[in-house]
Amino acid sequence: MHQEEIISSMQGREVIYAFFSDIFLFLADDKHVMLLKEILPALKEICQGSSEVKESIELLENYTDKYIKAENKQELLDNLNISYTRLYCLGNGVPLSESVYVSPIHLTRQESEIEAGRIYKLCSFDMKHNANEPKDHLSYELMFMSYLSKGISKHLAVNNIQEASKLTALQKEFLNNHILNWIDEMSMLTKKISESYEFYYPLTVVLQSYLKADNEYLETLEF
């Protein structure tokens, strides 16, 4: 793969990871839905595999099409945000922090949060907003992947192959040691809640598929 192609790929990865980060941290708005519409063709191409992945992409395509045609878009967003609250803001919902899944006693602050914070600090990564979430929150981990993708593309643009290679290795390590460690269990919990079926469960399935495809892509990179 030529260097220019890798830079373009990294720029695309930066956008996709940033989208997933935002949609799992904030209540959905018009910008989120329109960006999803924009990146769905790329996700459709990348996330090929099981029938469930294909069905999930179709559900998201149907949702974005319905939203674009809707006379009262705010009503759709309000319903989406009710689903978000039920899924991620209530005590019997779906946890979005790694520690809850990897801790043997399911506490919210464990070694994974401390480790994630250490890695962020080493890379001068800061989410730069006021969300009071643990550092191993899904949104933070996904935005870190976006941040590293941006760094790789910048280093490649000035032919700094050594630094680009280091960040790529860090991405592979972080993806395998953190996000991929718990995304499957999170998806299973999401599937148990019926309010997720129209949007957030399909979104989670596509995220799962994207992460695994992206991990395979990173393994192919050589500088």
pLDDT 10s digits, 133-156: 888 999 999 999 999 999 999 999
pLDDT at position 108: 47
Task: Record the pTM.
Answer: 0.94
Q: Which amino acid is at 93?
A: G
What is the DSSP code string of 74-126?
A: HHHHHHHHHHHHHHHTSTTS---BHHHHHSTT--SSSHHHHHHHHHHHHTT--
Q: Which two tokens mark 151?
A: 């760094």
110, pLDDT greater than 80? no
Q: Express each pLDDT in 29-64 by its tens digit.
A: 999 999 999 999 999 999 988 899 999 999 999 999
pLDDT at position 114: 77
Identify the top-confidence range among 16-20, 95-99, 106-110, 128-132.
Answer: 16-20
pLDDT at position 43: 97
Stronger pLDDT, 15 or 105, i.e. the higher one: 15
Q: Which two tokens mark 185?
A: 């269990």
Q: Express each pLDDT in 162-218 by its tens digit.
A: 999 999 999 999 999 999 999 999 999 999 999 999 999 999 999 999 999 999 999
| CA distances, 15 to each of 18, 87, 125, 207 (Å) | 5, 25, 17, 13
Give the pLDDT band of residue 91 (cuts 50, 70, 90).
confident
154-157-163-167 Cα dihedral, nearest 10 degrees: 50
Q: Which amino acid is at 142?
A: L
pLDDT at position 107: 46
**Spatial distance between the Cα atoms of 165 and 173, rounded to a whole number of angstroms:** 12
On average, the pLDDT of the chain sits at 92
24, pLDDT greater than 60? yes
Stronger pLDDT, 165 or 112, i.e. the higher one: 165
- What sign has the CA pseudo-torsion 216, 8, 1, 3? negative
Query: What domains does the chain contain, in order, with CATH numbers?
Result: 3-220 (1.10.3480.10)
Lowest-confidence region among 79-88, 126-135, 198-207: 126-135
